[in-house]
Structure 1
Amino acid sequence: MAVTAQKTTTKQLNTVYIILFAISSGHFFNDSIQAVVPAMFPILEKSLNLTYAQIGWIAFMVNMTSSVMQPVFGYIADRRPLPFLLPAGMFMSMLGLIGFGLAPNFSIILISVLFIGLGSAIFHPEGSRVAYMAAGNKRGLAQSIYQVGGNFGQSMAPIFTALIFVPFGQRGVLSFVLVAFFGMAILSFVSKWYKNQAMPAIKQSVKGTEKNGKRPIHRKIKIAMLLLVFIVFARSWYSAGITNFYQFYLIGDYGLSIKQAQIYIFIFMIAGVIGTFSGGPLADRFGKRNIILLSLIGAAPIAFILPHVSLIFVAPLVFLIGFIITSSFSVSVVYAQELLPKKVGMASGLTVGLAFGMGAIGAVFFGTLADLTSMKFVMIFVSLLPLLGFLSLFLPSDEKVRELSVEA
């Protein structure tokens, strides 16, 4: 019995890199599929004569479906882990891709992206759980490896636009069905490890929780989670403004072509990939709350001047903003998981999911605002959002989080 317990502890301390890289690859495929939606915006605007508000509604549908449902699936998975949901979510996204590629009008597009969003919602909580369990004692690094796959997938949107959708149009979306097949194969491998290695430990944990009874969540933890979600929401609104609408600002105010505008969006997003990967190890060394604080406050002055500079300065500025503001992406997930260590799926769903849902609302708001005013006004408004990072000063320190999680 003692030997078994010792083996279990050793397993928990070891970082299972093959699973981390596999789930990161699955995250890449999942978010590449989701990136197809904003990548098609410049094409759909012309081919279907969509307004900025309609484009905002498409972004709202895919992000809100993905976001709002993530905490729901996370809550379900916390009570009863379901490894098969990983490949099942990818299959759902594949159905959405087929509909999106063949959609003749705005209504069918909305239905199709709903399926893509639902597939992403199914994937993310279980993906975060797998990364958490495979992390050992390197949670910051593990979340960075996992999240960088998703951010890299999202960063491919400008490349998809320039190389696939501009020459091939809407039907080019159908080529991503092959991406979904690859994703299902990798996630089937991960779900098998999840089932064979992790499920016994999870079931034991669930039994222990039922035996000891449910403890109410500490009031300070609830307040910290609400504050964290709001901070992540501010970051998501800023990212939604840049990734969905900055390309139109570049086309309209700087006179760039669709392909040229995609270069700057790609720079912003690939900088986000680097920032996401760097944030986890930095948080392991300097503290999670400190990185969350610095990521928004550090980006605020650069974001403020971005709409006012000449084109020659745009590339270095969007790179710096992308790197700094996303350095807390994986960190905020780990911070939430440590606030709610017995509800890892729901914590991940709230930070990655629900907060992105707020970003979806932002996309609708920005699109409507652009129709009523101008795209430059929207970009100036967006540039003020990182200032909300000062709210991070009210988050509990890492040491206080550990104390609260023990009491919970």
Structure 2
Amino acid sequence: MPTSKTPPRHRSVTLLSVGHGCVDIYQGAVAALVPFFVSERAYTYAAASAVVLAATLLSSVVQPLFGVFTDRWALPWLLPVSTLAAGAGVALSGLGGSYPLTLLAVAVTGIGVAAYHPEAARVAREVSHGSHTAMSWFSLGGNIGFALAPLLVSAVVATAGLRASPLLAVPALVGAVLCATALRSTRTSATAAAATRAATAAGRDDWASFTRLTGAIVCRSIVFVGLSTFLSLYVHQRTGAGSAAGTAALFVLYLGGAVGTVAGGRLAARYRRVTVVRWAYALTVLAVAGVVFVPGPPLYVFVALTSAGLYVPFSLHVTLGQDYLPRRVGTASGVTLGLAVSVGGIASPAIGALADATSLHTALMPLIAFPAVGWLLLRTLSEPGTPRAAAPPTPDGARPTPAADTGHRP
């Protein structure tokens, strides 16, 4: 925990990172609840994947809208409020047996997550002064939340059933307190947000590059959400082991993100971000193929490699998007940070329907192609600002962003 001697900037990033983890528990929790919906309520694969869709579709559509709002106004109160909403949806999803009410509950979670990310990313950018490394630590908090989700859900629901789901609201309560504390520490205000927008007014938005980046993120998202939804069931079938084997695989997928996210920030300190991102997508093609085709315990190795390939570019997506759209940081954050973990849910019902018609093994095969498509979209991208004389990296490895170049401090 931060001490009284911790610099305010580091203390604020730490609080935001832990708060981010509390929110992203609920993105991981929805997928982790799928096996219990199948076993306790006899949902088909398609019905179970539609639950994930309910949590992600609204988030995919609404999140950029929240980004547009945060570009115009500072909305720091969204952080604690959206955290509570995300937790409330998951807490209510296990109560009662009504399928429509379950969909409604997880949709509330999706809206809470959508409201949180653009404003949180804007605040993190202000606090860190555009540092890629600091953003990787902020993203790390969310990835740890993802990693803890299956363990938390399993500990609560496997022990007491879906009706114990209200206990899953505890992280939301903790996260709301941490977010409120971080906001008091950073003193984020409408004046600070206005100063940031004025400082970046000289920047030029590169929509063509941002669109290609977004396309790659969509490909990454389809792979990640597809595996998050069905990996636990797939590993259980593939290895012949108990349900714990599936939970362990999901934990490896999420926990590897912690390593990958930090590695992405470090690699960006030595190489161009676009280069790091391209290599990560290439690795993911081979890793997903291993998950699909390699039998037995070695499958876990390829799950870990897939996790690394998916997460190394995670925080770099955010900073690249913000630098491609320096005048619309909130919009860029809403698309890159939120879309990266939500829009893939749109493809989940198709995967589930294919699995019902054939098998999970067959349904997961198309996931191998998506990171290859993402690599093709990224192949012609250039580092933001490279057509001009690029400034040297800062000591922490971040190339100055338009906000950082002006010397603005929140």
How high is the TM-score relative to the length of structure 1? Answer: 0.88
Aligned to 1:121: 114
1:376 aligns with 2:342: no
Q: 1:375 to 1:402 in 2, by over 3 A?
A: farther
- TM alignment of 1:1-400, pairs within 5 A: 16-136=9-129, 139-194=131-186, 196-197=187-188, 199-206=190-197, 221-388=206-373, 389-400=375-386
In the alignment, the residues of structure 2 paired with residue 274 and residue 191 of structure 1 have an alpha-carbon distance, to the nearest angstrom, of 27
**Paired amino acid for 2:291:** L
* One-letter identity of the residue aligned with 2:321: A
Q: Distance in 2 between matches of 1:120 and 1:305?
A: 31
- Unaligned runs of 5+ residues in structure 2 are 1-6, 391-400, 403-410
Give me the whole-angstrom Cα distance separating, in 2, the residues matched to 1:339 and 1:402. Answer: 14
Equivalent residue letter for 2:80: P
For residues 199 and 193 of structure 1, what CA distance do their matches in structure 2 show?
15
Is the Cα contact below 8 Å between 2:13 and 2:138 reproduced in 1?
yes
| Cα distance in 2 between the residues matched to 1:364 and 1:145 | 33
1:43-97 deviations in Å (ceiling 9; x for gaps): 1111111011111111111112222211111110110111111111112223323
Q: Residue 297 of structure 1 contacts residue 390 of structure 1 at CA under 8 Å; is this kept in 2?
A: no
- Tell me by how many angstroms 1:251 deviates: 2.1
Q: Is the 8 A contact 2:290 2:299 kept in 1?
A: no
- Whether the aligned pair in 2 keeps the contact of 1:140 and 1:334 (CA below 8 Å) is yes
Shifted more, 173-182 versus 227-236: the winner is: 173-182
Q: Give how far 1:355 is off.
A: 4.2
Task: From the superposition, tell whether residues 80 and 372 of structure 1 become closer, same or farther in structure 2 (CA, over 3 Å).
Answer: same
Mapped partners of 1:402, 1:69: distance in 2: 35
Q: CA separation in 2, counterparts of 1:148 and 1:162?
A: 22
Change in 2 beyond 3 A, CA 1:400/1:103: farther
Q: CA deviation at 1:162?
A: 3.3
SS at match of 2:43: coil
SS state at 2:109 partner? helix
Letter in 1 for 2:134: A
Tell me which moved more, 126-135 or 152-161.
152-161
Paired amino acid for 2:85 = M
Supply the distance in 1 between the matched residues of 2:122 and 2:96 (Cα, whole angstroms): 34
Unaligned runs of 5+ in 1: 1-13
Distance 1:47 1:270 in 2: 27
SS at match of 2:336: helix
Alpha-carbon shift at residue 186 of structure 1 (Å): 0.7
Structure 1 residues 197 and 351: CA distance shift in structure 2, 3 A: closer
* 8 A Cα contact 2:56 2:110, kept in partner: yes
Which moved further from structure 2: 116-125 or 239-248? 239-248
Tell me which amino acid in the other structure corresponds to 1:151. N
2:382 match: secondary structure: coil
**Structure 1 range deviating more: 386-395 or 232-241:** 386-395
Question: How far apart in 1 are the matches of 2:166 and 2:37?
Answer: 15
Determine the C-alpha separation between the residues in 2 that align with 1:381 and 1:16. 43
C-alpha distance after superposition, 1:295-330 (max 9, x if no partner):
111222232232221213112221122112210000
For 2:396, the equivalent position in structure 1 comes to none
Contact 2:197 2:327 in 1 (8 A): no
Across the aligned residues of Structure 1 and Structure 2, the Cα RMSD in angstroms comes to 2.3
Instruction: Give the partner amino acid of 1:58.
Output: V
- Aligned residue identity for 1:320: L
For residue 208 of structure 1, report the CA deviation from its aligned partner.
7.3
Task: Specify the code of the residue in structure 1 equivalent to 2:306.
Answer: I
Normalising by structure 2, what TM-score? 0.88
Shift of 1:230: 0.8
Aligned AA (2:79):
L
Structure 1 residue 401 displacement after superposition = 7.0
Which moves more between the two structures, 292-301 or 96-105?
96-105
- Percent of residue pairs bearing the same amino acid type: 26
Give the superposition deviation at 1:203.
2.3
Aligned counterparts of 2:14 and 2:152: Cα–Cα separation in 1: 23
State the shift of 1:200 in Å: 2.5
SS of residue in 2 equivalent to 1:383: helix
Larger helix proportion, structure 1 or 2? 1
The answer to whether the Cα contact below 8 Å between 1:68 and 1:353 also exists between their aligned partners in 2 is: no
- Does the CA contact (< 8 Å) of 2:76 and 2:188 recur in 1? no
- The separation in 2 between residues aligned to 1:331 and 1:207, in whole angstroms, is 24
Distance 1:204 1:362, change over 3 A: same
Counterpart residue type for residue 184 of structure 2:
K
Letter in 2 for 1:238: V
The SS at the match of 1:346 is: helix
Counterpart of 1:8? Answer: none
User: After alignment, is 387-396 or 339-348 more displaced?
Assistant: 387-396
Which stretches of structure 1, 4 residues or longer, exceed 6 Å deviation after superposition? 401-406
| C-alpha displacement of 1:244 | 0.8
Contact 2:56 2:345 in 1 (8 A): yes
Any idea what the Cα deviations from partners look like across 1:131-169, whole Å, max 9, x if unmatched? 1011135x2111111111111111123313432221211
Distance in 2 (CA, whole Å) between partners of 1:197 and 1:167 is 42
Contact 2:209 2:381 in 1 (8 A): yes
Cα gap change, 1:54/1:397 in structure 2, threshold over 3 Å: closer, same or farther? same
Q: Aligned pair count?
A: 385
